[in-house]
């Protein structure tokens, strides 16, 4: 069974099309990065999955059926905006959200204690939420999304406001949830995190899907680059699309930034240098990063509802 499926989903706000003809599906147990610039349509899509908004057209299935309130017990959601009750303590908050999702009081307390401990909140169980730092409050909010051991976990910018140490804590908890069987869809602008933990990526630009695949497939969309030091211009070598001369730091040698033609790899260029007797001092290959792909595909943000 697909944990999540969208077919031809469009959402309009008057004349504005926030999401256009969006289709993708997610198998159970996967961690999927939902990427796009501000205004790309990510949050609007998450709200439709949660049945907060209804599609203008198209079809959504969540855990084998249409979205709706009856799915709430099997879903965890961390919104980008804070949604906590400021006067409640950490322990009260997480237990309360567990009760909302159908757990008994004893079951909610039993699930909460080890969860807040793993998130580094154990010593703050009796602290009011309004006295916590932004990063601590974000971890409380993640705990409320995880307390019911959801089958589907939706995370909207989960690493927002967190320092590198706490980003690692959240990353570990997300991966633990995936190992326990949760399917995870999270939107993020932190490409390093997406590259580290996602098994698949879905990218949006201006409301439309521009990529759906794994990390290596994404990186293969951009040409490879090579930096080399040589005695002469490498522009004529096989597989070279362009060669930019860089400032020279060693007399008699030139440093060059090479962009390869589609389908050409660094190994092909190195082999050509050897076969033609092209004199090299240094040769360093640079593959495209996920950040490069994001900038290329996602494009500039638009000022629209997300």
List, in order, residues 6 or more apart from 244 with CB less than 8 Å away.
256, 257, 258, 259
The list of the chain residues with pLDDT below 70 reads 299-306
For residue range 45-54, what is the model confidence (pLDDT) as tens digits? 999 999 999 9
Provide the token pair at 63.
């855990």
Q: Across the beta sheet with 208-213, what order do the strands follow?
A: 75-78, 152-156, 183-187, 31-35, 200-205, 208-213
Residue 215 contacts residue 201 (beta carbons within 8 Å): yes
For residue range 208-250, what is the model confidence (pLDDT) as tens digits? 999 999 988 888 888 888 999 998 999 999 999 999 999 877 8
The reported pLDDT for the residue numbered 302 is 55
CA distance 272 to 118: 53
Report all structural domains of the chain as residue ranges with CATH numbers, in order of start. Answer: 2-219 (3.40.50.300), 225-287 (3.30.70)
The reported pLDDT for the residue numbered 177 is 93
Q: Among residues of the chain, what percentage have pLDDT more than 90?
A: 62
Query: What are the angstrom distances between the C-alpha of 36 and each of 43, 123, 211, 283, 297?
Result: 10, 36, 10, 34, 9
The candidate with the shortest Cα–Cα distance to 83, out of 52, 124, 39, is 52
Provide the token pair at 240.
């070279």
CA distance 240 to 201: 29
List, in order, residues 6 or more apart from 121 with CB less than 8 Å away.
90, 136, 139, 140, 143
What is the C-alpha radius of gyration for the chain, rounded to an integer number of angstroms? 24
Provide the token pair at 217.
């497939």
Provide the token pair at 281.
């001092």
The reported pLDDT for the residue numbered 37 is 85
């Amino acid at each position: 069974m697909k944990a999540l499926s969208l077919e031809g989903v469009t959402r309009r706000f008057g004349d504005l099309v926030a999401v256009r003809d969006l289709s993708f599906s997610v198998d159970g147990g996967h961690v999927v990065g939902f990427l796009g610039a501000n205004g790309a349509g990510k949050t609007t899509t998450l709200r439709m999955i949660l049945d907060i908004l209804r599609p203008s057209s198209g079809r959504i299935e969540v855990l084998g059926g249409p979205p709706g309130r009856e799915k709430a017990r099997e879903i965890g959601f961390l919104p980008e905006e804070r949604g906590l009750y400021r006067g409640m303590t950490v322990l009260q908050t997480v237990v309360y959200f567990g009760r909302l999702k159908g757990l008994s009081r004893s079951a909610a307390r039993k699930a909460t204690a080890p969860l807040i401990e793993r998130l580094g909140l154990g010593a703050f169980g009796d602290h009011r939420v309004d006295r916590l730092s932004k990063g601590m409050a974000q971890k409380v909010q993640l705990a409320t999304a995880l307390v019911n051991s959801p089958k589907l976990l939706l995370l909207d910018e989960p690493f927002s406001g967190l320092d590198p140490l706490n980003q690692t804590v959240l990353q570990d908890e997300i991966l633990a949830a995936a190992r326990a069987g949760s399917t995870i869809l999270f939107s993020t602008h932190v490409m390093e995190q997406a590259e580290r933990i996602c098994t698949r990526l879905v990218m949006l630009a201006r409301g439309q899907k521009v990529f759906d695949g794994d990390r290596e497939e994404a990186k293969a969309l951009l040409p490879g680059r090579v930096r080399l030091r040589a005695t002469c211009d490498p522009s004529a070598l096989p597989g070279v699309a362009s060669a930019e001369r860089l400032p020279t730091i060693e007399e008699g040698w030139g440093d060059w930034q090479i962009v390869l033609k589609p389908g050409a790899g660094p190994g092909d260029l190195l082999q050509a240098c050897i076969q033609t007797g092209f004199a090299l001092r240094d040769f360093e290959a640079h593959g495209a990063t996920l950040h490069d792909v994001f900038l290329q595909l996602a494009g500039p943000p638009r000022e629209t509802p997300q």
